[in-house]
Amino acid sequence: MELIAIIQDIEPLRFRNEYSQASPVKGDVLLAYRGQEALVCLKDGAIDFPRFSGEPQPGAAYTYLFEISGVHYYLFENPSGTDTDGCVFQNVRAFRGAEPRHQAFAGITGWQLFSWYRNNRYCGACGRNMNRDGKERMLSCACGHTVFPKISPAVIVAVTDGDRLLMTRYAGRDYKRYALVAGFTEIGETIEQTVRREVLEEVGLHVKNIRYYKSQPWSFSDTLLVGFFAEADGSTDIVLDTTELSEAVWVHRSEIDTVLDGISLTNEMIMRFKENRVSDFGSEPV
């Protein structure tokens, strides 16, 4: 088993997000959103989306988003009924684990772009209306202020000590399963410095042999997750930051009860350690 698929792994289909000012043609996919909800059409348990009828709806707006293997996806703003019969708004969280995978990925990626447009209607510098640029995914104001899509880098760190993996549970969240040390990159630091800082802050450990593993776009929180493996350096005594974590424990490889979810990078990294396949991804220490 070479790869464990996660939400953005849609091969053999191909995601292409080159910017274009194209207009929809009959049959193109329409992504419509309302707050935290997406307009989804369920067919035999598989998710699908409304399609463009060939005639624009009065008052609706269509913004090209991306392509998946020749199929074009448009942001569909101000939809009004008829073309969307049989489809319902549901929380975007439902895209976690939904099938087919490429439609789930399209749905959540479209929602990130929808949220970005919605949250940047006015200029943060002077308060005027923002204008959509014609050449790239950018918003600009007459005052000169420009805004690009928001992507916040964050690290996931699998801290290891021989056959033990440091596993955590987060305080004050619904998510109760074990996770790994994680945190956002702060202004002024490299991503490797984020790894060292977050591990020290959350569990009081120093790390060495930090190795990049893989990254994952995580549209639910405008995040680009960057996964690293690292080894505990010196003491392995955990000093827990209780404002962030409710628990952090060393778990022996043989006692990890996590099962593959096919969605998150955290899950894939835990599974890779559990199956003793950390050394075979071929990345150099940084």
CB of 139 to Zn ion, least distance (A): 10
CB of 150 to Zn ion, least distance (A): 17
CB of 132 to Zn ion, least distance (A): 14
- Give the amino acid at 194: T
CB of 69 to Zn ion, least distance (A): 39
In three-state secondary structure terms, 118 is helix
Residue whose structure tokens are 């969605």: 263
**Burial call 164-190: b when 16+ CB within 10 Å, e when fewer:** bbbbbebeeeeeeebbbbbbebeeeee
When the beta carbons of 141 and 156 are compared against Zn ion, the nearer one is 141
Q: Please report the DSSP string for 198-250 in residue order.
A: HHHHHH--EEEEEEEEEEEEEGGGTEEEEEEEEEEES-------TTTEEEEEE
When the beta carbons of 108 and 141 are compared against Zn ion, the nearer one is 141
When the beta carbons of 6 and 141 are compared against Zn ion, the nearer one is 141
Which residues between 105 and 144 bind Zn ion (CB under 5 A)? 123, 125-126, 141, 143
**Residue selected from 51, 145, 177, 206 as contacting Zn ion according to rule CB under 5 A:** 145
Residues 73-112, mask of contacts with Zn ion (x by CB under 5 A): ----------------------------------------
Q: Which of 30, 232, 230, 12 is nearest to 101 (CA)?
A: 12
How many residues touch Zn ion (CB under 5 A)? 6
Q: Which residues pair with 226 in a beta bridge?
A: 155, 215
CB of 126 to Zn ion, least distance (A): 3
Q: Which residues pair with 233 in a beta bridge?
A: 206
When the beta carbons of 145 and 169 are compared against Zn ion, the nearer one is 145
Binding site for Zn ion (CB under 5 A): 123, 125-126, 141, 143, 145
